Structure 1
Amino acid sequence: MFNKNTLHFKLNLFILSIIFLIVTIGFFIAIAIFFSIYEEDVIENISTGISQFREVAIDHHKAELLSFTTGLVDQSDQLLLQKDTTTEQTLQKYIDYANTIGIEFVEINGSGAVAYKELVCDQSVLDLASQNTTINNTEPTLWVDGSAEIGLHLFCSYPIVDSNKNQIGTVLVGLPIANQTAVEYIKNTSALDATIFAGNKRIATTIMKNDVNQIGTTLDASVASTVLDQGQEYYGKSTILGEPYMVAYVPVFNSNNQPVGALFLGKSMLSIYTMRNHIVLLMSILGALLFFIFYSFSNHWLKKNVTHPIRWVADAMKTISENEYSIVENMPTAQNEEIDILQTTMLTMVAKLVAGQKKLETVAYIDSITGLPNRVFLYKKYNAVSHIKEQNALSVVYYLDVDNLKYINNLFGHRVGDGLLIQMGSVLKDLLRELPEYEIYRISGDEFAICKEGYYNRDAVTNLSKLILSVFEKAFIINEQSISTSVSIGISYNDSCNGTRCEICTEKCKDDLEMLLKKAELAMNRVKLNGKNDFMLFDPSMNEDIQRKASLEQDLKLAMKNKELELYYQPKFDLELNRYDGMEALVRWNHPVRGFIPPFEFIKIAEESNLIIELGTWILEKSCRFIMEYNRTHHSEYCVSVNVSTIQLLNENFEKTVLSILESTGLNPAYLELEITETVFMNSMDTAYEKLKFFKEKNINIALDDFGTGYSSLTYLKSLPITTVKLDKSFVDDITFNAISFGIVDNVIQIARSIGLIIVVEGVETNEQLQILKSLRCHKIQGYYFSKPVPEAELPLVLSQYH
């Protein structure tokens, strides 16, 4: 039995898997290419043959019918001038003699009456021919018409003129064009199945199933829609009577340019697909055989060249750990360069241990939590090294910040946060184990630095960043808690100016450690601004953006202090009561110098600087006080909705803050609605759930805002302690013409209603949207159709429009 935990087994399995994967992919690609070429060749043959089919089925009959009718005109002329038994007999002899093509009827009209009629088909065929209103009275006219009931026919209308070129009559002749002889001829000459359709029915075909000719069966509905309804040609794959085909369908049009039938050419692919499946099976068996053959070879090679030498080194290290160093005297000869390097490294280590040259790192230089070198060691190492020397110069700095560590500490405690840092440090260290030119440091609470010495490759720099981001996609298990986190990475690097800034570049223009760290931190902060969990290389423009952010943060503090912020209110309209029943409070900031600043910009700064707690408390208190006073003054019962950020909700004092505000303002909790987004549950489902449950028990309404824009699930609606669902504007924008959006809105509304939730649709801007939402029985709407957000002073005028 094999020990699956050995390096030997894992290397063996890895190599075999790669070989097997390459061979398998190669086989399948080759098979796919071959059959793709074959299918293209079949389509090309079908495309070429369809014109021949049209010529045989239609054009040839047109020539025959026109020739027959031309010869018929003289006799018809005589019949119109002298209608007697002799002329009729002469006409009948011509028809009998010349009719080798199966004429269905001959009708001669003159002076508005039928002078002669020979009918060997159903009267409906002649009636169909007589319905054509586009006949040219001066030239012969040929056209095709028919249906699934009476078949496909070719008609000819030929004018009869006297010696003065005046029309004295008309010859009308019909001929069936769908016959088995034509399709059999096409199959014999092209090796392709052929079919002539009248309407959607096969009236002549070479397709057989269970040795039965499939005349009378109908065309597939999806193909019929394209060919017969839309009048378009169809080339490609299709299933005919349960069998795969490569096909071409070409519509046949009548004189009104309407499809009345179709010509079909195709080739059954059943046998070739069966052969393909057999080849795939055989290739799979061959691949498995190669897998096992290669296993015995790789197993022997790995034992001799890799695993046995590594095992000796492992055993030697265990012996050395017990202070027994003599084992290195019997070191076997290395079989390859990597093992030789490993053995040499071990010898060097032993030599240092024996000579007492290797000293333990002082506690001052090691981070006590992660065991990684700390900021002190980083500065000590690189401040003592000239950054001009290329061999050991500091060239690249990665600045890593753990996203949301503060929230993790608040939610789970610092013990879990420290455990997360320990595991992250271990993962990063393992990641760089094969890259000795890189070193990792923990430089502050949630920040790490990775430094690279010597020459570097730009692509390698970005590839390592992507690799670091990828390893943190998997959650960490700490004290039986599953913790998901990510990192934001800023990167700075040294570039020689190559004489662009100096006449002769001495590389003294390169940045030292302090500058590289600062630039990398600026780049990392930009990643934070852009949404975290990404990396970015330093760009000089970042200095300006960081300064703008810092300035805006200071201005926001002053704005809150000087009461420059203002609340606007956007009403919500109850469709069932046909009146306004509440409003949403929205904060606005008109900066005295910068002008209007979008809420998403300063709200984000407030969250990152922790000002959101103070700002959110102010908005909540002012909104409650306003709606209480407004209801008292206007004898109304409006409800006010207030947006709550994730940071606010997860704050340990938030419940006390809300209850305190309700008590101080005297507002009934039923007139307050807290709007939260699903990101609350992405951060901490359990904590958020308990808090919302607490508010709901206090008779405070809870609205799930922006539903459908992120990871929203319909299961949220039945499991969360919410009272209202707010459907995002993006679903309403195209509801009047997009069936998918209409279906989503319809389903969400009906589901919400069925489980007793109030549904509010945002972003309604047109009457068409309003009427649709009314028909879907939506509870409430909000949008510019009724009112945009307005300041307090304008609100009474807006609300007075509906009572």
Structure 2
Amino acid sequence: MKSTKTNKKIFRISQNIVVTTIFLDAFFLILVMAVLAFIYMDRLEADLPFGIEILFLVFLGVIALFMVVVALILTKKIDELFAPIDDIVSAIEEIKKGNYDIQISLQENNELKVIGDAVNQMSQEISKQVQLVYECFAFDSLTGLKNFKTSAQEIDDTLFKQNDKIALCLIEINNLKSIGVTKGQMVVEELMQNFADKISACIGNNDHIYSHSPNEIVFLIQGFRSLERVETSVTKLLDLFNSPIDIKNFKVEVHLNIGISIYPSDGKDVATLIKKCDTALFKARESGLGKYAFYNEQLTRDVNYRQQISEQLALAVKNQQLYLKYQPLIDNKNEIYGFEALVRWKSPTFGEISPQVFVANAEESHLIVPIGNWILREACQAQVELKKRFDKQFVISINVSPVQLLQKDFILNLRDIIRETEIDPNCLALEITEGVLIDSSIYLEEVIDYLHKIGAKIALDDFGTGYASLTYLKQIPFDNLKIDKTFVDGIFGPKKDHAIIAMIIQLAHSLDIKVVAEGVEKRRQYEYLKQIATDIFQGYLFSKPLTFDEAAHYVDQFYKVAKSKRIDVFAGSDFQE
């Protein structure tokens, strides 16, 4: 902009210099002629009559007038000559401002007209390209939905200037990436089209839907009086995807979470509201698949806390602030089957931090990979040491994060750890969650094949809390199945969890899978679980998680008691909070 104005100023100065030069040349010529004439007349003064002098002066005046007229005509011609150039410069300046409708109209049929026509053509081409770019960014090419980010200003200027309440709902398909890995990109594309169509079909007349990211859609609910309307709409939307969708001969399960913020109570502009939606979405993910959450101020404090945890966690790994505890696993023959290794963190800043908080944080930041490798090595060393002390083959059971398990170098790292620690692979059990099965890949099959090849055990953790189908129990050769604590807690409750547990045990045994009951805290829970043929027990009824030295002492004391009396001694009373 500044450059164009400078060029126009230089152009005008050049034009004025030309005109001024013509005037100065004329004036100088007249002045010279006058001086020469007066010198010549002075010499001939005696011989010339007075009338001749007057006539000569008139002649000089006519010449001067003629030259002035010529100068004025030249000035006009110069203006006419420079005017098209001025128009071209002005047009280019407008194009730089983004006004692509400008057109130069020149009557001359010369080089300047050629330049003007070229500028017009350039303006039209730029206009077409700008429109194409706008359409690319304004609409999602896959779903055809408006792009939320490019529509933000429009939403601010129109919807948010009204007095209506508006709910921003950020909808996330959180297993889209794994669907792409296991079923292919074509399935993902058709899924997103199907997803957008289903949501579009169920929205109200005043509601709006936008594409936000490859796996996110924004749904705007407008003009509601109470949050019940929002909850009804969101629940209806989630119900659309309760069942798998048929796409290209696949049954595709869609895992949704929704974060919600409200205009104007949570914010008065798009940027603020979508940020708070994202915060609420984090809470919804924590609550489980198919859950939604409304934003509130406590969520922001929670996010800030987690951010601080993330920063501290990187230091914790570096400064060796993490440590392991070991919870005994007791079999139905009153023997110690083994121990589950549980990671703990005592932060100098926050004190003891719940594994539920920092493990999830580590998975998001991928710190879980170095942490997981450290846990594997430390737990294997502990197993080897217990074997040396007591000459018994205790199984060490270790939780493996899906993030760590699906790393391409997982098998290589595990092989190195087994070699370095000299653990017998038959004494190693890796616990995986149901989520890994749903988001499984070809590489997971390689990992499972390798574990069975070396004799290591595979345990399915927290069975019954997720979406895993019973089909997975037939497809994957699990050695152990761990019944989640929530079922154990409900054994004597009204929901008939005891019948569910009995069915799970019967099914597992028919597939030659051992059953581990987690969270056993009461003597009568233990008695019932033993009665229905549970294989292994774990919980505070037998022992809290122990340090390595405490675990070694536990083993020492356990085997000093007669086998028939061990349960009475080590599980003599109900665990109290």
1:545 matched residue in structure 2: 302
Matched, 1:477 2:250: no
Within the alignment, does 1:410 sit opposite 2:181 as a pair?
yes
Q: TM-score, normalised by structure 1?
A: 0.47
1:87-130 residue CA offsets vs partner (Å, 9 max, x unmatched): xxxxxxxxxxxxxxxxxxxxxxxxxxxxxxxxxxxxxxxxxxxx
The 1:671–1:476 alpha-carbon spacing in structure 2 relative to 1, beyond 3 Å, is same
**Quick one: which of 324, 335, 340 aligns to 1:584?**
340
Letter in 2 for 1:366: F
* 1:450 counterpart = 2:219: yes
For 1:197-216, what per-residue CA distance to the aligned partner results, in whole angstroms no more than 9, with x for missing partners? xxxxxxxxxxxxxxxxxxxx
For the structure 1 residues 708 and 481, does the alpha-carbon distance in structure 2 shift closer, same or farther, using more than 3 Å as the test? closer
Matched, 1:462 2:225: no
Match of residue 19 from structure 2:
none
Distance of aligned partners of 1:726 and 1:475 in 2 relative to their CA distance in 1, 3 Å threshold: closer
Does the CA contact (< 8 Å) of 2:386 and 2:552 recur in 1?
A: no
Match of 2:554 in 1: 798
Report the CA distance shift for 1:371/1:626 in structure 2 as closer, same or farther (over 3 A). Answer: same
How far the C-alpha of 1:580 sits from its partner, in A, is: 2.3
Residues 382, 394 of structure 1: 8 Å contact kept: no
Give the Cα–Cα distance (whole angstroms) in 2 for the partners of residues 520 and 511 of structure 1: 13
User: In 1, distance between residues paired with 2:556 and 2:206?
Assistant: 72
Name the count of aligned residue pairs.
429
Instruction: Indicate the residue corresponding to 1:616 in structure 2.
Output: 372
- Shift of the alpha carbon at 1:542? 2.5
What is the deviation of 1:376?
4.4
Deviation at 1:777, TM superposition (A): 5.8
User: Take 1:517 and 1:427, find their aligned partners in 2: how far apart are those partners?
Assistant: 22
Residues 388 and 510 in structure 1, CA contact (< 8 A), matched pair in contact too: no
Q: In structure 2, the residue corresponding to 1:659 is in which secondary structure?
A: helix
Task: Please give the residue correspondences for 1:61-210 in structure 2 after superposition, counting only pairs within 5 Å.
Answer: none
* 1:622-660: CA deviation from partner (whole Å, max 9, x where unpaired): 212322244245544222111123444344443333333
Structure 1 residue 776 displacement after superposition: 5.8
Match of 1:528 in 2: 285
Question: Retained in 1: the 8 A contact 2:341–2:397?
Answer: yes
Correspondence 1:369 to 2:369: no
For residues 235-250 of structure 1, what are the structure 2 equivalents within 5 Å? none
Give the corresponding residue for 1:673: 429
- Unpaired runs of at least 5, structure 2: 1-130, 560-577
Q: How has the CA–CA distance of structure 1 residues 430 and 791 changed in structure 2, closer, same or farther, with 3 Å as cutoff? A: same
* Structure 1 residues 676 and 735, CA gap change in structure 2 (3 angstroms): same
Paired letter, 1:620: L
Aligned partners of 1:670 and 1:591: how far apart in 2?
35
Residue 673 of structure 1 deviates from its aligned partner by 0.6
Superposed, 1:43-58 pairs within 5 Å as: none
Q: CA deviation at 1:711?
A: 6.2
CA contact (8 A) 2:340 2:397 kept: yes
1:695 aligns with 2:464: no
Stretch deviating more after TM superposition (786-795 or 630-639): 630-639
Residue 667 of structure 1 aligns to a residue whose secondary structure is coil
Pairwise CA distance, 1:675: 1.7
TM-score (norm 2): 0.64
Per-residue deviation, 1:424: 1.9
Contact 1:522 1:538 in 2 (8 A): yes
Partner in structure 1 of residue 128 of structure 2: none
**Deviations 1:370-395 (CA, angstroms, capped at 9, x unpaired):** 222224421342455594455xx894
Distance in 1 (CA, whole Å) between partners of 2:147 and 2:317 is: 39
Which residue type is aligned with residue 400 of structure 2? V
2:151 is aligned with 1:378? yes
Q: CA deviation at 1:748?
A: 5.4
1:194-245 per-position Cα deviation (integer Å, ceiling 9, x unaligned): xxxxxxxxxxxxxxxxxxxxxxxxxxxxxxxxxxxxxxxxxxxxxxxxxxxx
Greater CA drift, 559-568 or 641-650: 641-650
Distance change (3 Å), C-alpha of 1:757 and 1:489: closer
Inter-partner Cα distance in structure 1 for 2:165 and 2:522: 61
List per-residue Cα deviations over 1:634-692 (Å, max 9, x = no partner): 54422211112344434444333333322333222111011223343344498756643
Task: Give the match for residue 556 of structure 1.
Answer: 313
Asked if the contact 2:208/2:220 (under 8 Å) is kept, the reply is yes
**Cα deviation code 1:738-763 (max 9, x no counterpart):** 99676666665566556543343444
Instruction: Name the structure 2 match of 1:425.
Output: 196
656 and 736 in structure 1: CA distance in 2 versus 1, 3 angstrom threshold: same
Q: Is the 8 A contact 2:425 2:454 kept in 1?
A: yes
CA contact (8 A) 2:165 2:264 kept: no
Provide the secondary structure at the position in 1 that maps to 2:168: strand
Tell me how far apart the structure 2 counterparts of residues 773 and 450 of structure 1 sit (CA, whole Å): 47
The CA deviation string for residues 680-728 of structure 1, in whole angstroms up to 9 with x for no partner, is 3344498756643442232111123334555677776555301223344
* SS of residue in 1 equivalent to 2:405: helix
| Residue 800 of structure 1, CA deviation | 0.8
1 or 2 for the larger relative contact order (CA 8 Å, sep ≥6)? 2
Deviation at 1:363, TM superposition (A): 2.5
Structure richer in strand, relative to its length: 1
How well do the aligned residues superpose, as a CA RMSD in angstroms? Answer: 3.8
Q: CA deviation at 1:774?
A: 5.8
Paired with 1:513 and 1:734, the residues of 2 have a C-alpha distance of 45
Query: Which secondary structure does the structure 2 equivalent of 1:800 belong to?
Result: helix
Pair 1:511 & 2:265 matched: no
Q: Say if 1:732 and 1:763, in contact at 8 Å, map to a contact too.
A: yes
1:566 is matched with which residue: 323, 332, 335?
323
Does the aligned pair in 2 maintain the 1:724–1:759 contact within 8 Å? yes
For residues 563 and 407 of structure 1, do their structure 2 counterparts lie closer, same or farther at Cα, with a shift above 3 Å needed?
Answer: farther
Equivalent pair of 1:574/1:779 in contact (CA under 8 Å)? yes
The whole-number CA distance in structure 1 between the counterparts of 2:230 and 2:501 is: 46
Partner of 2:410: 654
Contact 1:696 1:722 (C-alpha < 8 Å) held by counterparts? no
Q: In the superposition, relative to structure 1, how do residues 732 and 377 fare at CA in structure 2: closer, same or farther (>3 Å)? A: closer
In structure 2, relative to structure 1, the CA distance for the partners of 1:419 and 1:662 (3 Å cut) is farther
Q: For residues 436 and 658 of structure 1, do their structure 2 counterparts lie closer, same or farther at Cα, with a shift above 3 Å needed? A: same
Aligned to 1:318: none
Instruction: Report the counterpart of residue 281 of structure 1 in structure 2.
Output: none
1:609/1:776 Cα in 2 relative to 1: closer, same or farther (>3 Å)? Answer: same
Structure 2 residue 259 is the aligned partner of structure 1 residue 486: no
CA contact (8 A) 2:182 2:442 kept: no
Q: What is the rounded CA distance, in whole Å, between the counterparts of 1:536 and 1:741 in structure 2? A: 28
**Equivalent position SS for 1:555:** helix
Alpha-carbon distance in structure 1 between the residues aligned to 2:420 and 2:536: 30
Q: Is the 8 A contact 2:437 2:472 kept in 1?
A: no
Aligned partner letter, 1:546 = V
- The answer as to whether partners of 1:387 and 1:510 remain within 8 angstroms in 2 is no
The verdict on how the C-alpha distance between 1:418 and 1:763 changes in structure 2, with shifts beyond 3 A counting, is same
Secondary structure of 1:559 counterpart: helix
Q: Is the 8 A contact 1:403 1:533 kept in 2?
A: no
Determine if contact 1:491/1:523 at 8 Å carries over to the other structure. yes
User: Structure 2 CA distance, aligned partners of 1:372 and 1:714?
Assistant: 38
Q: Which amino acid aligns with 2:137?
A: A
Q: What is the rounded CA distance, in whole Å, between the counterparts of 2:482 and 2:232 in structure 1?
A: 41
Shift in Å, 1:425: 2.4
